[in-house]
Structure 1
Amino acid sequence: MLKFGSISYLNLLPFQVYMKRRTPSTQFAQMLRWQRAVPSVINRRFRRHEIDAAFISSIASAKAPCTDLGIVADGAVRSVLLIPGSRQDDRESASSNALAQVLGLEGRVLIGDKALVHYLEGGEGIDLAEVWKERTGLPFVFARLCYTRNGKKIRRLARDFARRERHRIPGYLLKRAAAKRDISPRELQWYLEHIDYRLGWKEKKSLQRFLKAARRLRMEN
């Protein structure tokens, strides 16, 4: 049975819908077993080989076999925020905590759906992806689809998903996902417009720059 880890945030909704459409009534669908959790937990399960493939945090992907699919923001993303003040990492995060340190910003890191709701309710915060874009001119890669086995199958899935220009989400799923976060379907649709999934040369350049900066910080500390 293929154990597929999935970040339990709205930013992966298009991929989750794609997988459900692709796999019904096939042997792969019968084997597929989703394990949903926050990024830090998915990273840990992947590292222990408790799951076979997952979108893991980019900071944890340096030595893993990965595809050219990830979670990317080319500028403001609205779901990775820093509330100015004393340093406080988000326990659900890995890449965003490291990003705040790389950028030299102090405050409370807030990620995922709770950060999006905070923003939509008018809460203040510095958008870390937006700051990265302003300083580097590059998009930021928050996560990558990586695997521990079944690499050929996972790479094929990644290529097929990446080739699709639009990822339509059925209205009933959009409403259900939005209602769980107490936001509107229109707000959810607007949010997903800030997310991309393909890693081209700019994204890979950005990723290497981020990983290098994070390594340097760890050595200094």
Structure 2
Amino acid sequence: MGYVLGLPRYANVSPLHHFLKPEGFQVRYAVPAELNRLLLSGEVGLSLVSSYFYLKHQEALGLLPDFSVAVLGRVYSVNLFHKGRLEDLKRIALTTESATSVALLKLLLKERGLEPTYERAEGELELLSAYDGVLLIGDRAIRAYAALLPKVPETPHTLPTRFGEVEVADLSTLWFQRTRLPFVFAVWAYRRENPPPKPLVQALREARREGLGRLREVAEAEAQRLGVHPALLQHYLWNFRYHLEEPDRLGLQAFAEALGLPFRPVYYPG
């Protein structure tokens, strides 16, 4: 078996792999929480993993130095859908797909002096009949938001965050208001004893270059897959930061510090 690459099937990572040519390696798709486990077990060699997972296990992991899935400001797909004020939330249903989003939500609410009850639950907005809030991420969050949206406005600056009694709290926006830094949701990581071959890293860089250069094409394909308006998907995708530049590294370090974790990355040398 060749080197195994781990990927989540989320629209926000599609520019990284839409044009990827898997020659000499295999691709395994799973949700972030599962990819975290597969990387630790050695079942995948290089994987997009949640930043929370990376920070917790960074002593064992290496990091590609120029890749990220990050946002400065609103992300649109890590959302707490809730009724009433944040201060009044008592029970929140949590996604089972991502540890980073859960850790970020708890951090942001705790800093406001809020400690509601958190429960893992499968479902989408129907959970609001039993909970005060529900945390959705990735494609589920995009579909849920799009379903509430009466129409796609001409400019994304007018995209609403309130729909009747349901309000949408974007966690990346709350992070930006707190830090004025990007939030890094995912990074490419590998076990240090099993670094990815150089041709694979080069293939990922080439796929990203192609994906960002042909973003409208990528967005239209993802919009069709999700059943949402392509203009909404295109804005969503061009909002991301995929290169782990210095502001992103500072954001990742700030997240580590907020969690009480060190930040000592070891970067892939190639």
TM-score range, shorter chain: 0.7 to 0.9
Q: How does 1:83-94 map to 2 (within 5 A)?
A: 83-84=81-82, 85=89, 86-94=91-99
Counterpart among 94, 98, 101 of residue 103 in structure 2: 98
Q: How does 1:70-81 map to 2 (within 5 A)?
A: 70-81=68-79
Q: How does 1:31-110 map to 2 (within 5 A)?
A: 31-62=24-55, 63=58, 64-68=61-65, 69-84=67-82, 85=89, 86-104=91-109, 107-110=133-136
Q: What is the rounded CA distance, in whole Å, between the counterparts of 2:64 and 2:203 in structure 1?
A: 10
Q: What is the rounded CA distance, in whole Å, between the counterparts of 2:28 and 2:138 in structure 1?
A: 17
Q: What is the rounded CA distance, in whole Å, between the counterparts of 2:206 and 2:63 in structure 1?
A: 15
Which residue matches 1:219? none
Q: Secondary structure at the match of 1:186?
A: helix
Tell me how far 1:52 sits from its aligned partner. Answer: 0.6
Which residue matches 2:130? none
Which residue matches 1:207? 252
Q: Secondary structure at the match of 1:199?
A: coil
Q: Which amino acid aligns with 2:77?
A: S
Q: What is the rounded CA distance, in whole Å, between the counterparts of 1:169 and 1:83 in structure 2?
A: 28
Q: What is the rounded CA distance, in whole Å, between the counterparts of 2:224 and 2:205 in structure 1?
A: 31
Tell me how far 1:187 sits from its aligned partner. Answer: 2.1
Q: Unaligned regions of 5+ residues in structure 1, if any?
A: 24-28, 217-221
**Residues 161, 177 of structure 1: CA spacing in aligned structure 2 closer, same or farther, 3 A cutoff?**
closer
Q: Which amino acid aligns with 1:51?
A: V
Q: Secondary structure at the match of 2:256?
A: helix
Q: Secondary structure at the match of 1:54?
A: strand
Of Structure 1 and Structure 2, the greater helix share is in 1
Which residue matches 2:144? 118
Q: Which amino acid aligns with 1:167?
A: G
Instruction: Indicate yes or no: 2:19 matched with 1:14.
Output: no
- Asked if the contact 1:17–1:169 (Cα under 8 Å) also holds between the matched residues in 2, the reply is no
**Residues 205, 157 of structure 1: CA spacing in aligned structure 2 closer, same or farther, 3 A cutoff?**
farther
Q: What is the rounded CA distance, in whole Å, between the counterparts of 1:174 and 1:163 in structure 2?
A: 15
Q: What is the rounded CA distance, in whole Å, between the counterparts of 2:13 and 2:211 in structure 1?
A: 16
Tell me how far 1:147 sits from its aligned partner. Answer: 1.8
**Greater CA deviation, 61-70 or 174-183?**
174-183
Q: What is the rounded CA distance, in whole Å, between the counterparts of 1:184 and 1:32 in structure 2?
A: 34
Q: Which amino acid aligns with 1:143?
A: A
Which residue matches 2:120? none
Which residue matches 1:178? 223
Q: Secondary structure at the match of 2:81?
A: strand
**Greater CA deviation, 124-133 or 178-187?**
178-187
Tell me how far 1:169 sits from its aligned partner. Answer: 4.5
Q: Once superposed, what is the RMSD of the aligned Cα atoms?
A: 2.3
**Residues 110, 165 of structure 1: CA spacing in aligned structure 2 closer, same or farther, 3 A cutoff?**
closer
Q: Unaligned regions of 5+ residues in structure 2, if any?
A: 83-88, 111-115, 117-132, 149-162, 262-270
Q: Secondary structure at the match of 2:92?
A: coil
Who wins on radius of gyration, i.e. which is larger?
2
**Residues 5, 77 of structure 1: CA spacing in aligned structure 2 closer, same or farther, 3 A cutoff?**
same
Tell me how far 1:117 sits from its aligned partner. Answer: 1.6
Q: Which has the higher contact order (CA 8 A, sep 6+)?
A: 2
- Asked if the contact 2:215–2:238 (Cα under 8 Å) also holds between the matched residues in 1, the reply is no
- Asked if the contact 1:75–1:129 (Cα under 8 Å) also holds between the matched residues in 2, the reply is yes
Q: Which amino acid aligns with 1:114?
A: R
Which residue matches 1:136? 179
Tell me how far 1:118 sits from its aligned partner. Answer: 1.6
